[in-house]
Amino acid sequence: MSIVVLLVLVAVLGVGMTGIVIAVRRSPGQPGSTSTPTARRVVVYILLFALVVIAAIGLSGLLGRALDTGTNLAGSDVTGLARSLAFTLIAGPFAALLWWVLWRRMASAERASISWGLYLAGLQTVALVTAASALLGTLAALVRGDWQPRTLAVALIWTLVWAWHRWMSRHPSKSPMQLTSVAPILSAIFGLLIGAVGAVTALASLINAAVDALQSSIVIGDPWWRLALQAGVWFLGGTLIWWWQWMRERARLVRGVLADLALVVLGIAAAAAASLVGTGTVLFVLLRLAFAREHPLDDILDPLGTALATALVGALVWAYHLGLLRQRALPTRLAATLVVSGFGLVAAATGLGIIVNALLSGLAPVVVGSDTRSLLLGGLSAAIVGGPVWWAAWKPLRPVDPVSAQVTGRRVYLILIFGISAIVAIITLLVIGYRIFEFVLDDLSRQSLLDRVRAPLGLLVATGLAAGYHFSVWRRDRAALAEAGLPGRAIHRVILVTAGDPTATRDLIAELTGAAVTVWQRAASPDGPAPIDAAPIHAVPRDDVLPSAERLGLALAGVTGARVLVVVGVGGSVDVIPLQN
């Protein structure tokens, strides 16, 4: 019965695909044709994406069965073989036919469409992630003597898919004109992630083995070097992928929202969080070794390897990307600073709340099984690590000039921290009130009132101080702006229209205004030769195409508005147009 249903579905798919391919084949493909709308491109490329993925899954299944010499081709899994055959023999030819039609019709309008760039970027990333994960998983399994031919088949097929789409993305006449940097950035992120996780796992295994050797402990199970070697495979593979995409594919030179977001979120925020958590845990272990030895030594040292490895790898990634921030625009640098400041503030406030909780527990009756000393040491660890980081990033004693106080990111950060802290403080007050009424009404409970409210009271102290401080800073910034006679924010967003390379101009505008900049590339006229300002950057001297910092500063001086249009014209001329909301 299942085979009949499968055949019916295959027949329906075949008929539908035939109709779509015929419709695409017969539709005109002139660059200016109105019969090739965006909806058609979206549907066709989504369909091609699905067909390629289905065909690759089917081919991987068939190749895996062929490489697995230990079993018959069908074996006991007839359903799996039927699925692989259907995926390969149905989706494969239709994917090839649809691709052939689209490839022949690839004109300038198709190349300039977002759908074509998004399709190649998405499938390149999916293919690379799948192939690399399968290949590294196969190599890691070989370390423990486990041969996985079907996983290797997945790696081989998806490597071919990746190479095919990479060739299309670099074709001299049919490569996409938009979203060309998405695949290298996403692939570099993937390589950095698996490389960092592999490095942490391998280093933690080495540290734990060294600690066990110093303690003369007997470890039962796999030898320590096997886990380290398996993690080393992932580390080397991830590092190679990251280096290739970051250096050879020049992902490090890309500028834009996605590149800046990847730098701030992964290279700064995630690395800083990992480093802070790891450092705090290491400090907590050392403090327990010095002042709280009532627990077994193995329990105290258990998190040391992972924590130390996380701190070291996180600090290394953090330091590298911190150096890259010097080449980025002011909003990106400010976002990274605020993110680090926020993490330090959270760690310091958490540590302060735990310290208050532990100190209050010393005044309450001792409860059997309570570990006040470890609780206090945990709070001290978080506060000692988070406090200096917040101080170095935020610099509370440095006077804030009116220009910095104008930056939207700083004001949003202050309002966000104040708002979140105030909400948590109000919720904590409700919890304290609930505990007090519960204590008054519940005479049978043996728990003291102080023991009931000490945890939320510690959280209330920390969030109250954070909310009060950031509210005072926000008011101080407003007073500084009022004294300088400046508005709260002159320009919120800039839309830059240019024909040349927008990187330098966009960075200059961001430096001068502190606003977010969106770039619109000017298209060449389809009816005639391109204007002078739309010529390639190598055809016109750079000084004649890009406006200077002085010219941009004069054009933007005194301009206010939520959105401002900046048009770069012939010879580097600048037109600034405030837009109505």
Question: How much is the pLDDT for 222?
Answer: 63
Residue 216: count of CB within 10 angstroms of its CB? 6
Contacts of 70 by beta carbon, 8 Å cutoff, 6+ apart? none
pLDDT in tens, the chain (581 residues): 344 444 444 444 544 454 444 444 444 444 444 445 677 788 889 999 999 999 999 999 889 888 877 666 555 667 878 888 889 898 889 999 999 988 888 877 778 888 888 999 999 999 999 999 999 999 999 888 888 888 999 999 999 999 999 999 988 888 888 888 899 999 999 999 999 999 999 999 999 888 877 776 555 556 777 888 999 999 999 999 999 999 888 888 888 788 888 999 999 999 999 999 999 999 999 998 888 777 778 888 888 999 999 999 999 999 999 988 888 877 788 888 899 999 999 999 999 999 998 888 777 655 444 568 888 899 999 999 999 999 998 888 887 766 667 777 788 888 888 889 889 989 999 999 988 888 888 755 667 778 888 888 988 999 989 988 888 888 888 777 766 555 545 677 888 888 777 777 877 787 777 777 888 877 765 444 444 343 443 344 444 457 777 777 777 777 777 788 888 887 778 888 888 76
Contact 309, 203 (CB under 8 A): yes
Residue 231: count of CB within 10 angstroms of its CB? 23
Three-state SS annotation for 242-278 = HHHHHHHCCHHHCCCHHHHHHHHHHHHHHHHHHHHHH
Contact 165, 99 (CB under 8 A): no
Question: How much is the pLDDT for 302?
Answer: 85
Q: Where does residue 27 rank: exposed (0-12), middle (13-18), buried (19+ CB within 10 A)?
A: middle
Cα gap 480→484, rounded to integer Å: 6
Q: Residue type for 31, please?
A: P
Q: Residue type for 265, please?
A: V
Residue 324: count of CB within 10 angstroms of its CB? 14
Residue 36: count of CB within 10 angstroms of its CB? 21
Which residues face 579 on adjacent strands?
A: 563
Question: How much is the pLDDT for 81?
Answer: 83
Alpha helix stretches (DSSP H) within 325-448: 330-363, 372-394, 402-406, 408-441
Question: How much is the pLDDT for 53?
Answer: 94
Cα gap 90→6, rounded to integer Å: 11
Cα gap 515→217, rounded to integer Å: 59
pTM here? 0.79
Joined tokens for residue 150: 């079907």
| 561-568/491-498 β-pairing | parallel
Q: Where does residue 102 rank: exposed (0-12), middle (13-18), buried (19+ CB within 10 A)?
A: buried
Cα gap 456→360, rounded to integer Å: 11
Closest CA to 258 of 170, 337, 178: 178
- What is the separation of C-alpha 565 from the centre of its chain, rounded to a whole number of angstroms? 30
**Phi and psi torsions of 293, nearest 5°:** -95, 20
Q: What is the CA radius of gyration of the chain?
A: 30
Three-state SS annotation for 422-471 = HHHHHHHHHHHHHHHHHHHHCCCCCCCHHHHHHHHHHHHHHHHHHHHHHH
**Phi and psi torsions of 146, nearest 5°:** -110, 115
Contact 193, 241 (CB under 8 A): no
Cα gap 396→392, rounded to integer Å: 9
DSSP class of 516: E
DSSP string over 133-178: HHHHHHHHHHHTT---HHHHHHHHHHHHHHHHHHHHHT-TTTS-SS
Contact 58, 52 (CB under 8 A): no
Cα gap 102→27, rounded to integer Å: 11
Cα gap 234→242, rounded to integer Å: 12
Cα gap 196→365, rounded to integer Å: 46
Give the Cα-Cα-Cα angle 545, 246, 253 (nearest 5 degrees): 15
Cα gap 22→20, rounded to integer Å: 5
Joined tokens for residue 483: 């004294």
Cα gap 161→249, rounded to integer Å: 18
Joined tokens for residue 346: 């959270």
| 574-579/561-568 β-pairing | antiparallel
**Phi and psi torsions of 331, nearest 5°:** -60, -35
DSSP class of 565: E
Contact 382, 278 (CB under 8 A): no
CA distances from 73 to 65, 70, 80, 85, 457 (A): 6, 10, 11, 12, 67
Helix (H) or strand (E) segment spanning residue 522: none
Write the Ramachandran bin of 250: left for phi over 0, alpha for psi from -120 to 50, otherwise beta: left
Closest CA to 293 of 371, 352, 365, 208: 371
**Phi and psi torsions of 489, nearest 5°:** -160, 120
